[in-house]
Structure 1
Amino acid sequence: MMSAAHTSLAGRFNPLVIKGRTHAGRAELRPRGELVHGCADVLDETLTALPADVRRVELDMADVVFMDTAGLQFLELLDHYGRLRHIPVAATHWKGQPRRILELAGLDTTDPLHTPPSAEPPPAGPEPEPEPGPPACSAVALERAEQLCVLRAEVRQLRHAIVSRPVIDQARGILMAAHGCTSDEAWHILRETSQLSNTKLRTVAAALTAGTGTGGPPPPEAVRTALRTAVGRCLR
């Protein structure tokens, strides 16, 4: 079984593919690629194709390399499928950037569809009186404030990465078409061009995509020189 989202050169270049097998009423699925726009449609197609006798669905997410807010829709669809069919579903083995997104969303990184006991509503009845304790330690409060500051900075970086991704992917597509290279090679070319020209990666990508349009301005000389060097190094 295999479902995939198809994309063009102007879109993303690591499309979501879901492979898997069913055995003894258990569906074992392994998504590969990115959880971005359209990923829920790929999952819906996969789940719809499962045999009627499936009694458990397990997703191994180890090969998912990127995730934005569309990944949360992916999980909502999987959870809805399980509730509708009254069968257990699980999504485990998260790694890298997708795992960090789950952490920032406050979800269980072991299995975001699992509801921890602490999240279950407390039994009805009067709330117990809080026991007296020592006053809050200023060092602990300071540490928590620092952690919150770091977390906010990471959220800003992730948001910027999500906004920047379309133009970077377009630039990767241009390089792939121009030089016959792979998506990974195009990524390395962009990154090295950014380093050699001391220019932000998104700025390099924007200059490259603007320069390919009709009447578009060519990239700055420093970027063009760095790009030629990067192509020579990565494709030799």
Structure 2
Amino acid sequence: MTSAAPRSTDRPAGLVIECRVERRAKGRAEEERALLVPRGELVQGCVDPLAEALAGLPPGIGRIDVDMRHVVFMDTAGLQFLDLLNGHGRRQSLPVTTGHWRGQPRRTLELTGLDPDDPLRGPEHDLQQEVDQLRHAIVSRPVIDQARGVLMAVHSCTSEEAWDILREASQLSNTKLRVVAEAVTASAGSDGPAPPPKVRAALRTAVRTATERHGR
């Protein structure tokens, strides 16, 4: 049962957050859950509507769930969004979860091993370490996009297939994805060096796997 009408906050950053408070059975008792549904982009200014939404929640909330399926893009400001959620949960001693990450935001989380089903899950010190890695991954995104472009041109594959090739080569060679991307990009130049042997072998395997998977 919904005990409060949906409410939205808006900012020039292009993020709207719908807030609903629901009463759910928890054993023989009832618990009030806040469901937040952001829509738009996690860019500069995104923490303002989130802070307002959290401040406007009524007392007695037992948990907060955030449905991220309508978030279409995130940059480094998304880290501040996660930090604010995580800090609010600690201060209020509330479980806070995020889920349904899709598209570019989900792939960004995957870059550093964050759980795309709930990046807030896990011990606080682990989250902070992963957030630091995520910040670095976002900064290095251009070289990853360049590498995807090289693979698309050389192997006539789609953007998603190029992403799968990079990720699998990173895993097979036990090499950071950014390093694999840099090697691919560097090798595309007229005088560029070939990727290191273990990366080159991993790329061959990843390309072959992608080709077989898509029947080409």
TM-score, L = length of structure 1 = 0.48
**Runs of 5+ in structure 1 lacking a partner?**
8-14, 121-139, 157-236
Structure 1 segment 97-112 matched on structure 2, within 5 A: 97-112=104-119
* Residue 145 to residue 38, structure 1, CA distance change in 2 (3 Å): same
Give the Cα–Cα distance (whole angstroms) in 2 for the partners of residues 104 and 59 of structure 1. 21
User: 2:44 pairs with 25, 37, 43, which one?
Assistant: 37
Output the CA distance in 2 between the equivalents of 1:76 and 1:97: 19
3-state DSSP of counterpart to 2:61: coil
**1:85 matched to 2:92:** yes
Counterpart in the other structure of 2:9 = 3
Report the equivalent of 2:141.
none
Amino acid at match of 2:72: V
What percent of counterpart residues are identical?
48
CA distance in 1, matches of 2:171, 2:118: 31
User: Residues 21-170 of structure 1 correspond to what in structure 2 (within 5 A)?
Assistant: 21-24=20-23, 25-115=32-122, 143-144=172-173, 148=177, 152=181
Equivalent residue number for residue 18 of structure 1: 17
* Per-residue Cα deviation, 1:78-106 (whole angstroms, up to 9, x for no partner): 00000000000001000000001111233
| Aligned counterparts of 2:115 and 2:64: Cα–Cα separation in 1 | 18
* C-alpha distance in 2 between matches for 1:141 and 1:65: 25
Offset, 1:59: 0.5
Residue by residue, what CA displacement relative to the aligned partner does 1:16-71 show, whole Å, maximum 9, x if unpaired?
Answer: 00002102210011100000000011100110000011111000000000000100
**C-alpha distance in 2 between matches for 1:102 and 1:110:** 9
Kindly provide the amino acid, as one letter, of the partner of residue 8 in structure 2.
M
Cα distance in 2, alignment partners of residues 86 and 53 from structure 1: 12
The 2-side partners of 1:73 and 1:39 are apart by: 8
Q: Matched residues in 2 for 1:150 and 1:141: separation?
A: 8
Higher RCO, Cα 8 Å, sep 6+: 1
Unaligned runs of 5+ in 2: 1-6, 24-31, 128-168, 186-216
Which secondary structure does the structure 2 equivalent of 1:55 belong to?
strand
Structure 1 runs (4+) deviating above 6 angstroms are none
The two structures, once aligned, show a CA RMSD in angstroms of 2.8
SS in 1 for 2:41: strand
Q: Is the 8 A contact 2:170 2:180 kept in 1?
A: no
Label 1:23 to 1:101 Cα distance change in 2 as closer, same or farther (>3 A): same
Equivalent position amino acid for 1:43 in 2: L
Deviations 1:115-149 (A, max 9, x none): 17xx69xxxxxxxxxxxxxxxxxxx9993167736
Name which one, 1 or 2, has greater alpha-carbon Rg: 1
User: What's the CA shift string for 1:177-219, capped at 9, x where partnerless?
Assistant: xxxxxxxxxxxxxxxxxxxxxxxxxxxxxxxxxxxxxxxxxxx
CA spacing shift, 1:107–1:2, aligned 2, 3 Å: same
Distance 1:142 1:89 in 2: 30
TM-score (norm 2): 0.52
The separation in 2 between residues aligned to 1:22 and 1:77, in whole angstroms, is 19
